[in-house]
Amino acid sequence: VQIQNWLKKDFPLKTNALQEILHPYFRHENKRMVRQKKKYNIGWGAKVLFLGTDGAGKSTLIEAVKEKLVLKNRQLYLGIGESGWTSAKMKRLHQWKSKNKIMNKLFSILKIYFLLPFEFLLRIIPVKARSKYSVVLIDRIPGKYFIENNRQKQWLYKTILPKPDLVFFLNARPEVLQKRKPLEFSAERSKEDIEKFKKVADKVSGGKYISIDTSNLSISEASDIILSEIYKNNKVFENLLTERFH
């Protein structure tokens, strides 16, 4: 009740009021409210997934949320772009191509069913090993494997990747995306990407994703919307904010 009242009256300005509510169950560490130490910290606290096209503000908003969130949090990158790989060797293997079409096809199968799952496990395991009482901010997932009509791929990646408790679909109007990323997007490409990521968000959340149009929102405004949803989420409330798990 106290937390719900805080959300209605004091959020997002008076985070010190939330800290006072949580004080009996948490200690203060590096500006975060951290659960009193437990014997085991293996597992997931609350998993928050951010999806959206390039230019929608994913990385910037994740950093803003990390800065404002008074609960202990960790970040997990599950993309396959230029950064975030566990080693340069894994990245090179993923990008490797042969001039031989048959070899390329065989290696593509190996990448999808062995290399990428192994890479994701290398990223996931260290985070899961110390996140039972943390909010885990997940930066994207390989969404195409969730919307392709291939049950084997869907099963594999659903099994390996953490199931999010909260999904944010970040988007913006095509002309705004094009303006933010002029060298990467045409208006048509922007529309296609928006629809694609919307399908992914719908699939991984069971239709319960939260859509945020960042076209006319400042970083502060958008991050406050995200924080409000995080604090209200049942998994956050039950696992991190109540005495039952103390």
pLDDT at 19 (0 to 100): 66
pLDDT at 161 (0 to 100): 96
Distance CA 38, CA 72 (A): 14
Band (pLDDT 50/70/90 cuts) for residue 23 is low
CA distances from 242 to 26, 237, 245 (A): 11, 6, 6
Band (pLDDT 50/70/90 cuts) for residue 72 is confident
pLDDT at 176 (0 to 100): 87
Yes or no: say if 220 and 183 are a contact pair by the CB < 8 Å rule.
Answer: no
Q: Among 203, 222, 204, 220, which Cα is nearest to 212's?
A: 222
Q: What is the mean pLDDT of the chain?
A: 84
Residue written as tokens 């968000």?
201
pLDDT at 33 (0 to 100): 47
CA angle 4, 62, 82 (to 5 degrees): 155
Band (pLDDT 50/70/90 cuts) for residue 245 is very low
Distance CA 125, CA 179 (A): 38
Q: Which stretch of 3-12, 104-113, 236-245 has the lowest confidence by average pLDDT?
A: 236-245
Across 188-215, average pLDDT: 92
Higher pLDDT, 35 or 149: 149
Whether 125 shows a pLDDT value over 80: the answer reads: yes
Give 132-182 pLDDT, tens digit per residue. 888 999 999 999 999 988 999 999 999 999 999 999 999 998 888 888 887
- The percent of residues in the chain predicted with pLDDT above 90, rounded, is 51
Whether 17 shows a pLDDT value over 60: the answer reads: yes
Give 80-116 pLDDT, tens digit per residue. 988 899 999 999 999 998 889 999 999 999 999 999 9
Whether 34 shows a pLDDT value over 70: the answer reads: no
Residue 77, beta-bridge partner list: 139
Whether 219 shows a pLDDT value over 50: the answer reads: yes
What residue type is 180 in one-letter code? R
Residue 76, beta-bridge partner list: 138
Yes or no: say if 166 and 46 are a contact pair by the CB < 8 Å rule.
Answer: yes
Yes or no: say if 226 and 12 are a contact pair by the CB < 8 Å rule.
Answer: no
Across 224-232, average pLDDT: 88
Across 76-80, average pLDDT: 94
Distance CA 103, CA 111 (A): 12
